[in-house]
Structures are given as structure tokens and as C-alpha cells.
Chain A
Amino acid sequence: MAAIGSAVGLGNVWRFPYVCYKNGGGAFLIPYLIALFTAGIPLMILEFSLGHWSRSPPPLAFKKVNKKLEWVGWLSSLTPFVVASYYVVVMAWCFAYMVYSINLLWEPDAESFFFRFLGKTSGISEIGGISIPVLLGLIAIWLSIFIILYKGVDRIGKVVAITVPLPTALLIILTVRGLTLPGAIEGVSYYLTPDFSKLLNVNVWLSAYAQVFFSLSLAQGILITYASYLRRDSDISNNAFITSLADAGTSFLAGFTVFSVVGYLAYVKNVDINHLGIAGPHLTFITYPTAISLLPFASAIFGMMFYIALLTFGIDSAFSMIEPMASSLNRKWRISKFKATAIICLVGFMASLFFTTGSGIYWLDIVDHFIANFGLVTVGLLECVTLGYLYKVSFFREHANKTSDIRIGRWWDLLIRYVVPAILVMLLILSIVENLKKPYMGYPVYALIIAGALPIVFIVIASFVLQRVKR
């Protein structure tokens, strides 16, 4: 349940429907499902198996594989920690909008969201002040993460028992409401009508693999950590299938939630769907609230439902990003869970503060782009190479088979050793080529170095340092 909570996050709602629509609509389901079964689930089985076998957080798990590989574990624990520092800021935006939804206090247009709410500055070099509503939301979210994590795995279990089914139920209600609105079917038609010619484009296939890879919380040490808490007789393969399909199923459902309401908005405003923001912050803080405000009745209730759903989807992902580091500090240096969690949350909070400034959204965009396209892909590749070549990958298959109802065959070894690394190398090359062709989103090079390259360099150096520091 915790792994499902970790995998299902904001990206399922604000990224998948858009990626699907952009890459051939319903036809995108074909590469997406193939990516899920050939890369997502096999890699998840590997991470579950490593965590379950080692009963340790990532650094100690990799150390058990080979003493020299502890840094790979630190790398995969530090990466989600950096992601959490800006992910929590986006949750703080949702928190503020949830409060606004009580009286429909938002003014859903780009001007209000970016300039009045976030206090966005005219350029990245102008830092600007801290947005107070975002700061308050940030404090609330970091405090929640601390309270959930410091007591350990029992409290995580109790929290996810609420935060996994609740947002799914809310999403179903919002979808049903959305589908009964005029224009909804046109919206869904945009989402699902397949354009099979797109399947000939290699970028569509890479987008499918990237979507699966980022959505399932792979290469972030999270699944290794959670699997280390599983009972000895837990079914590893079945857990991987359930987690992956629940994540993909939520993304698929979110497409109906989003496109039905976007279709309604296009109908009311008499504009083409292409002219409306249907991804990321535009969808969440401009398009969706605009549509909610135009609902004939109970706008505030549906608005609140939407943001509660986002917050509850996000909170499991957010605390799962902190848990690998907290657990690693706790296990390696015997720091109490309370202290370890407090240290990590405090450092995370300080780092998040930077993203609440007027230029925060620019920095957030750059860090996210580089961590996702280079950081996570590299960690995934390292996992496959270290466990697939330097260690006998069949050992982890056999370990999974010992406790699993569904036995996996030798094909799995081939996927881990050849298919997944090949896809990850292609994703990496594609990202490098694109970033060399032109600076990402036209940002100045110094900003790309500070927010893009430096965090990655910091993570790599810190991983080696943490390996060297003795117990």
C-alpha cells in the first residue's frame, strides 16, 4: 500500500493525461503498456527483491551486494531527497489553493497565479520575496512529513491506509461529475482518439518509457527501503504487479478527470482545447480552477475535493522521498529515527525555502528537468549495471521466486541486463543531445549550471563522502 502511495503522485494527474494526448492519444497506451511490462515491472521486482533480501535501506543494501557499491545506495537515497525539496513546494501551492477553494478565493488566470500568488519575478536573476501563502503551506507539509515519519513504519502504514484510497475515491467522484458536464465527451475524445501514425516516432516510445520510469518511483531508493520492511514471506512479484497497475490505472483514470473538465471549459468558453493549459501548474492552478468556478453548483466542494485529492496523492510520495535518507542515517550511524527524520526535514525545509521566492518557479523548473532527465536515469542505469553485471542478477530473481506466487523466468534477467539499460542509455543520450542543441527553455547558462549541474555534482560527491564516513 505504501509503495502504491509512493508511486501515485501529482504526476499521475498533471503529467500522464498530457503526455498521452501529445503522443498519439489512445494509441499511446500501446507503448505505455509495453514499457510497463518490459521495464517498469521488471525494475520494480529488482528493487523489491534487493530491499527484501537485504532488509536494509539502499546504502546498506548495496553494501551487502558489494562493499564498494555503498555509494550507489547513497546516490539513490539522496536523489529523491533533492526531488522532495521542490516537490513539497508544489504541494504547498496545492495546500494554499485548497484553502482558497473554501470560498473560491482564487482568481484562476495566469496573471493571478504566477504574479500575485507566487510573486514571480521578471527573470531568473531577480530573486524576489518569499510568497507567504506558499511559506505557510510549506511549513504545514514539512511538519506533516516529520510527524508521519519519525514514529517509523507503523505510522506510515496507518497513514497510507487513508491517503491511498481517499484520493482515488475523490478522483472517481470528480470524474463522474466531469463526465456529466456538457462538452466532456469532446474532451475525452481528445484524450483517447488514437493517432497510430505517432507509433512510428521513436520519441513517442521513449516518452512512454520515461513516463513509466518516473511515475513508478523507480531508481529513488524508495522501493528498496519499503521492501526492507516487508514480511519475510511477502509476495514480491505480485506486489510489483499490483503497485505498477494501480499506478498506471490511476493515471488512466486521471485522464478522464482532466479531459472531461477541460472539454467542459472549452465548451463554455467556445475555444479549442489546444488553447487551454492541460499540463503541469497551468492545468492545476489555472485551467482546472477556472472550470470549477464555472460549475453550475457546489463549485467550492468540487474545488476542495480536487485539491484534497492532489494533496493526499502527493503526501505519500513526498514522505516516501524522505524515508530512504532518514532510514539510512538511522541504520548506518544509529541515529534515532526521531533525530534522523528531524535533521532531514529541517535541511529539506531550508532548501525548499529557496523555491518559495519570486524566482523559485524558474529554479524549480531547472532542477526538476535535470534531476528527472539525468539524475534518475543515471541511478536507474547504475542499478541495472551493478546488479545485472557486477552481481548475479539471477540471484535476485531466485529470491523473488522463493516467496512469489508468480514465478519469473530467465527472460527477466535479459530485460534487466539488456533491455532496460538500453532504453535508459537512449533516454540519457536524447536528453544530452537536446540540452546541447539549445539551453533548456532558453535559461541563461549560469542558471543551468547552478540549478541543473551543481545539484547532481553535489549528490555524487556526497554519496562518496557518506560511504567513507565510518559508523
Chain B
Amino acid sequence: MSLPISAIVMLIIGVVVLYGGLAYFIYRAIRSKKE
């Protein structure tokens, strides 16, 4: 059995918003510390 397309879409949304967002804010924190 494989994951339904709708589940894959939700997986992508979760990963992009949560981990992408986290990576983005960590990047901003590191950048502003360097400055």
C-alpha cells in the first residue's frame, strides 16, 4: 500500500511550513548574530 495523494500533499504542507519555517527563522537568527 502507498500513501494517498491527499496524504502526500498534507505531508508536504507540514514539512514546508514547519521545518522550512524553522530553518528560515534559525537562519535569520544566525544572520543577525553575525551582523
Residues of A bordering B, CB below 8 Å: 25-27, 29, 33, 185-186, 188-189, 192-194, 235, 238-239, 241-242, 245-246, 248-249, 252, 405-406
A79 vs chain B, min Cβ distance (A)? 28
Q: Are A192 and B18 in contact (CB under 8 A)?
A: no
Q: Are A185 and B2 in contact (CB under 8 A)?
A: yes
**Chain A residue contacts of B19, Cβ below 8 A:** 249
B12 vs chain A, min Cβ distance (A)? 10
A239 to B28, CA, bound (A): 11
**Chain A residue contacts of B6, Cβ below 8 A:** 26, 193-194
Q: Are B7 and A193 in contact (CB under 8 A)?
A: yes
**Which B residues between 8 and 26 are near A, CB-CB below 8 angstroms?**
9-11, 13-15, 17-19, 21-22, 25-26
A460 to B32, CA, bound (A): 42
Q: Which of B7, B18, B29 contacts A252 (CB 8 A)?
A: B18
8 tightest A-B CB contacts, nearest first = A26-B10, A192-B7, A245-B22, A249-B18, A241-B25, A193-B7, A405-B32, A242-B25
**Chain B residue contacts of A239, Cβ below 8 A:** 29
A32 to B27, CA, bound (A): 24
A239 to B25, CA, bound (A): 8
**Chain A residue contacts of B9, Cβ below 8 A:** 26, 194
A186 to B3, CA, bound (A): 8
**Chain A residue contacts of B17, Cβ below 8 A:** 33
**Chain B residue contacts of A188, Cβ below 8 A:** 3, 7
**Chain A residue contacts of B1, Cβ below 8 A:** 185-186, 189
Most buried by A among B2, B13, B18: B18
Q: Are A245 and B18 in contact (CB under 8 A)?
A: yes
Total of A-B residue pairs, C-beta within 8 Å:
66
**Chain B residue contacts of A193, Cβ below 8 A:** 3-4, 6-7, 10
Residues of B bordering A, CB below 8 Å: 1-4, 6-7, 9-11, 13-15, 17-19, 21-22, 25-26, 28-29, 32
Q: Is the interface of A mostly helix, strand, loop or mixed?
A: helix
A26 to B6, CA, bound (A): 8
Contacts A25-B7, A193-B6 given; does A238 touch B14 at CB 8 Å: no
The chain A residue with its CB closest to the CB of B22 is A245
Known: A27-B10, A188-B7, A252-B15. 5 other contacts (CB 8 A): A25-B7, A246-B22, A248-B18, A252-B18, A406-B28
A239 to B22, CA, bound (A): 11
**Chain B residue contacts of A248, Cβ below 8 A:** 18
**Chain A residue contacts of B7, Cβ below 8 A:** 25-26, 188-189, 192-194
**Chain B residue contacts of A235, Cβ below 8 A:** 29, 32
The chain A residue with its CB closest to the CB of B3 is A189
Q: Are A29 and B4 in contact (CB under 8 A)?
A: no
Contacts A238-B25, A405-B32 given; does A189 touch B4 at CB 8 Å: yes
B6 vs chain A, min Cβ distance (A)? 5
The chain A residue with its CB closest to the CB of B35 is A405
Q: Which of B2, B10, B15, B28 contacts A238 (CB 8 A)?
A: B28
Q: Are B25 and A245 in contact (CB under 8 A)?
A: yes
B31 vs chain A, min Cβ distance (A)? 8
**Chain A residue contacts of B28, Cβ below 8 A:** 238, 405-406
Q: Are A252 and B14 in contact (CB under 8 A)?
A: yes
Q: Are B10 and A194 in contact (CB under 8 A)?
A: yes
**Chain B residue contacts of A26, Cβ below 8 A:** 6-7, 9-11, 13-14
Contacts A33-B17, A245-B21, A246-B22 given; does A192 touch B29 at CB 8 Å: no
A34 vs chain B, min Cβ distance (A)? 11
Q: Are A29 and B10 in contact (CB under 8 A)?
A: yes
A248 to B20, CA, bound (A): 12
A126 vs chain B, min Cβ distance (A)? 45
A27 to B14, CA, bound (A): 10
Q: Are B11 and A192 in contact (CB under 8 A)?
A: yes
B35 vs chain A, min Cβ distance (A)? 9
**Chain A residue contacts of B32, Cβ below 8 A:** 235, 238, 405
A37 vs chain B, min Cβ distance (A)? 9
A88 vs chain B, min Cβ distance (A)? 29
Q: Which of A29, A238, A246, A249 contacts B13 (CB 8 A)?
A: A29
The chain B residue with its CB closest to the CB of A237 is B25
Q: Are B18 and A238 in contact (CB under 8 A)?
A: no
